[in-house]
Structure 1
Amino acid sequence: MASRGSQKLEDKLVCCICLEMFATPVTALCGHSFCEKCINSHWDKEEQGPASRNGYTCPECRKSFSKRPQLSKTVQLDTIVDIVKLGELPTPEPEKVAAVCEKRCPRHGRALELYCKTEKQLICCVCALKACQNHQKVLFDEERKIKEENLKETLEKTEKMEKEINEEIQKLEKQAVGIKELLVLPTPGSLEVPPLEFDLACSVDSITKFFSTVSRIFQEALSNSFNPVAADAQSSLESKAVRVRAAQCLPETELRMHLLKDHRNLTFDPATANKYLQVSEQNRKAKHAPGSRSTLSSRDPQKFEPWQILCAQQFTQGSNYWEVKLSGQSVVIGIAYEKIPRKKRAGCTFTIGLDKLSWGLHVQEDCYVAYHNSESKKIKESLCKFIGVKLDYDQGVLSFYGIEDHMKHLHSFHTIFTEPLCPIFWLCEGTAVTLCQKSRGQSIADGMFPDSQAVSDAVEQP
């Protein structure tokens, strides 16, 4: 049996008009609460009835109001009703409902034995003969049984729905656990990889001897990079060989090995180069030398007025990756639609990333700055001489990576690409960019050799 305090609480949860638990409880000016729909329906009928000149009344205390009262939602009572419906408090017991029935009619002082379905409230036998004469009426006990059956049916449906929801939640939780397991990368110790042995020390002498033998062949090919004095040519070549070997020792991290699977060999398109940019090493190197000027016509509509140049390759689908070597700072690396304007922009040294047609990463003296559509983002990371670029056309993702002792992510753009894309570069005066190449037959595990393809091509010349 519920306590006296609990019964008093349950009394507040039953609307005296519909005899059901409150649905959106509201409070009148007199302090009594009703279902919002029930009290509005009650006052709507009073407006239409002959007693409308007497104003509006409270069904609980029969207090009259000259104007239709403003209703306010009883938030705390609504919360209590929700708790009861969820099963956290006991619902009103039959004894409680019977206690409501024992109340007296405020108009005639008789027991409230009947229920008016039209008015949706308890009435006495005198009300049934007068105010509710033409209304649909039933005995309170009969109506209570019908309400209890409806409530029971509703509770059963709710419990069934709750059970189905819990089952679906359990299935989703199992799927989430499975997805998390798939996303976890295996640790180095979990894979059985046979040890790889590479004796670099044993190979240094033979490589140095090889470069010394072909020094004369390299003199012409590397004339833009070395002192042309014949007496210093061989020593410069051997110095270059040492730098090539050092450049080959790029990090073989798991991320970089994965990216290299989609590597693309790029070449510059001289027809688009600004007149001050020199292209050499079979269009794999671009340099902005002080005082230099291209011999090609600068009036060509394909050529850039800013110090920019496009690559000859275009990408329209799939995953693509390339790496570039920088000689210094003040370089912009990016991609652009082929129709990017060739003209200068007032007050700007470059146009990459200043419109919706291009995306760029500016390598400055102390940081990186990402540009697109004239919006910029500063990236405080240590500068790297090698930059990796990953373009996932289908997914709309462009990412930049710094490559030194390890691989670090610098920035990613997320968008939707709609036209063929070309790699694009801007070079400040005195800087150079070399496109890293992967030779035919070279495996991914061999790493990248920025100058090896140029070396191989020079050796094959007669």
Structure 2
Amino acid sequence: MSATGCVLFEEQFLCCICLDVFNDPVTIPCGHNFCKMCITQNWTVNNAQYRCPMCKKEFKTRPELSVNTFISEMAAEFKQSAGKKNQRELVIKAARPGEVSCDICTGTKLKAMKSCLTCLASYCGIHIDSHMATDSLKRHLLTDPVGNMEARMCPKHKKTLELFCTTDQICVCAHCTCSEHVGHKMSSLKDEFEAKKAKLEQVDADIQQMMQERKQKIGQMKLLKTHSKNDAEREIADGVRIFTLLMQTTEKSLNDLIETIEERQKTMERETDGFIQKLEQEISVLMKRTAETRKLTSSQDHLLLLQTYRSMTSDPSTKNSTEISVCPPDYQGTVVKAVAELEEILSREKQQLLHEASLKRAQQYPVDVVLDPHSANLWLVLSDDNKQVRYDEVRRELPDNPHRFSHYANVVAQQSFSSGRFYYEVLVTRKTNWTLGLVKESANRKGIIPLSPGHGYWSMGLRNGNQYLILSSPVVSLSLDSQPQRVGVFVSYEEGLVSFYDVDSAVCLYSFTGCSFTETLRPFFSPGLSYGGANSAPLIILPLRITDSSVSFSL
């Protein structure tokens, strides 16, 4: 038989009660066909109500069952061609180990489709029909198949557990309320079910929240692990570069020291050789003079001695030789001085290299920051691209909202950050007053609020054109060698780090460390008051090349 034929027979020759191919098909007076056993059991269970399961037509007396020869032959042919398939389907319908079986079936127990909490019995698809058709049985409480129905009976009174004792927190029957649980507070199983179900749903919601928090924490840990690996690689590269430069500087200083010492030693040798030559010449003159003196003293010519005495005693070569002296070079002092100069050079270069490495690291995490007009104080004016903000002498007439700053001339970014790292730069040229930093999402934006970490603000600012302040508690005053024109702000959420940089000088101005961030953060900006035009220049968010994909933010 073809596959199409098999599908056709399977659709046309199924008993609507057992949903299997007809077995001993019979026809009842209304013309519908059923398995002989199925229709017989159906009428038996329904307490002598003889109704067609398909069209619901009732018969006053039990109709005679006539064998439908045509359907019987066709069903037999189908079973012969697809016997294996039918056998597999029959096995599937039988109750498997662990499944609830029908309490009415005799012989092979079919899988229960429903359990009746009133009858304390389970029914398959065939035997549940009475509960669907009989008015008195329709009022019974049906549920998904339940095993061990005895557990739903009161062990003492053998009655259905239909109440809940809220005093003892157990299920009881009606008789229990008059004996062991007399005077206790009772509620229906349905009411208690709804109450406990609501609590369980809340427990589930709490669990889901805890799971979400832990998943978020895992994400942060994984991100921190990635950052740590990248940082280690960068720090190694920076360390090699820094130590190479420092070693080159040290080597150059050593070569300069050796050259200086050797030059001083050669100078010393030249000076000493000159003195030695001069002294040797004087010795030669003195030896000649000694010979002449001895010759004169051995002479008995009184006149000659008296005539030559003056010239012999006035010769300059007879002066004291102690006037000639040589001072040896202080090589140890030269080395000490060179080492001190090297330490100063290395310290200066080390700090510069470390600052450059720190800034370079921060610049690996650029983000495109855009100002949020809905948060801007009414005295502020934003550019069309929301990249610039300045103070205006005319107050704007706009509706208030919970996000708008009411007192301070502040505005926050549209972007919020809840993990990862990010960096942005702001141009502060030609300004005498400004404030930059981070604010947590829940920080108060109304009224006079100290801009300190305790109130959810991490910031630095310029006052009076030359006073650079860290707005912490207490306020920290910075002494800077130059006035920053471009200020970079770097944040590492997991590390609890907020750093401010003078970008042009590659110097870290200040870092908030050990911050405990537990909610989203937003960059915030304050151009300060205009002060009669002296501070009218805007704060400008500079464009950066966005290359890092690990920064987490949301609008």
The TM-score normalised by the length of structure 2 is 0.33
Higher alpha-carbon Rg: 2
Greater RCO (CA < 8 Å, at least 6 residues apart): 1
